[in-house]
Amino acid sequence: MAVVFERPKSLIDIPTHYCPGCTHGIVHRILCEVIDEMGIEGDTVGVCPVGCSVMAYDYFNCDMIEAAHGRAPAVATGVKRTNPDKFVFTYQGDGDLAAIGTAETVHVATRGENIVVIFINNTIYGMTGGQMAPTTIPGQVTQTTPYGRDPELAGYPVKVCEMLSTLTGTAFAQRVAVDTVPHVREAKKAIRKAFENQKEKRGFSIVEVLSTCPTNWGLTPLEAIKRLQDEMIPYYPLGVYKDVTEGVFSHSEKGGNE
C-alpha cells in the first residue's frame, strides 16, 4: 500500500512534551517538511533557546544547540560565521525574542545575518506558567496581568515583523498563523522561502507564527484557535512585511534610508 502521509524524516519519532492543543507540533512538522524537501538535514544546525521549545533538540534530527534565554541569535551568528555554507535556524518564543533577547534580535537582523528565525508568538510565557509576554495584547489576562494588560502600567506589545521590516539587513519578514489548513500551507511556504533566502545568501529572514497556548490561556484547543482568529490576527495582521525578492519594503525604507 502506498504511504500518502508520513512523518518528516528530520522530525524524530518520539512523544513531545508539548501540551494538548499546542501548535508547536504543527510548526515543528512544517519546518521539518521544508528541511526534508530541500534535503538539507545534514547541513543544518538549529538553535533552540529557553522557552517551551528549549528541548526541541530532542525532536529535530539535525545538529542542535541549546541556548540561554534570548541568546539564540548570537549563538546562531557564531555558528553561521564559522560555517557560512551550512543552514542555521533559531526557533524562539515571544518572551525570548521580543523581551530578554531584543538586542540580539534587532542586531542579528540589522547585520543581515544570513540565518532563519522561526518566531512563535502566542502572546504569553508558556514554560513558566503564563506570565505577560512582550506580545500580550492589551486587556489580556495573564498570571502577571490579572486584571488584563493595562498599557498605562505595562506598556504596549511589540510588533516584531513591523519593527524588523524597517531594518535594511532584513531580507524577509512574514507573519503567518497555523489555525486553518490554508494558513498552515501559507506558513510552510513562508518557511520554505526563508530557507531559500538563506541558500541564496540574501540575508536575515524571519517567519512569525501566530500560535496557541490553550493551557495558559485557560481555553480548550478549539477555543484557543478561535481566540487566535478573533483577537490575535486583528491585532497582528498576517502578511509579508518585507521581501527583497518581491520589492516589498517598509515605509521607512521607502522613505529613503537606502
Partner 1 sequence: MKGNEALAEAAIRAGCKCFFGYPITPQTELAAYMAKRMHKAGGVFLQAESEIAAINMVLGAASTGVRAMTSSSSPGISLKSEGISYIAGSDLPAVIINVERGGPGLGGIQPSQADYWQATRALGHGDFHLLVFAPASVQEMVDMVVKAFDRADKYRMPAMILADGLLGQMMEPVSFPEINPDAYDKSGWAANGHGFKREHHIINSLYLKPDELQNSVYERFERYEKIKQTETDAELYLTEDCDILVCAFGATARVAKSAVNSAREAGIKAGLFRPKTLWPYPVKEINEACKTAKKLLSVEMSMGQMIDDIKLAINCSKPVEFFGRTGGVVPTPAEILEQIKKIGGAE
Query: Which chain residues interact with partner 1 by CB under 8 A?
Result: 41-45, 47, 54-55, 57-58, 60-68, 71, 73-83, 86, 103-104, 106-107
Pick between residue 62 and residue 132 the one whose CB is nearest to partner 1: 62
Instruction: Report whether 204 contacts 242 (CB < 8 A).
Output: no
- The nearer residue to partner 1, 15 or 256, going by C-beta atoms, is 15
Considering beta carbons, is residue 189 or 199 the nearer one to partner 1?
199
Q: How far is the CB of 70 from partner 1 (least distance, A)?
A: 8
Residue 201: CB atoms within 10 A of its CB come to 11
Q: How many CA atoms lie within 13 A of 28 on its CB side?
A: 28
The residue (of 104 and 243) whose beta carbon lies closer to partner 1 is 104
**End-to-end Cα spacing for the chain:** 56
The least CB distance from residue 117 to partner 1, in Å, is: 14
Q: Shortest Cβ distance from residue 88 to partner 1 (Å)?
A: 9
Q: How far apart are CA 83 and CA 89, in angstroms?
A: 13
State the minimum distance, in angstroms, from the CB of residue 110 to partner 1. Answer: 9
Instruction: Identify residue 55 by its one-letter amino acid code.
Output: M
Strand partners, 208: 119, 175
Closest C-alpha among 244, 46, 213, 201 to residue 114 = 201
Q: How far is the CB of 68 from partner 1 (least distance, A)?
A: 5
Q: How far apart are CA 74 and CA 95, in angstroms?
A: 16
| Least spacing, CB of residue 185 vs partner 1, in Å | 28
- Considering the complex, state which of residue 107 and residue 189 has its C-beta at the smaller distance from partner 1: 107
Residue with Cβ nearer partner 1 (78 or 139): 78
Enter the C-alpha cell of residue 21: 492543543
The widest CA-to-CA distance across the chain, in whole angstroms, is 61
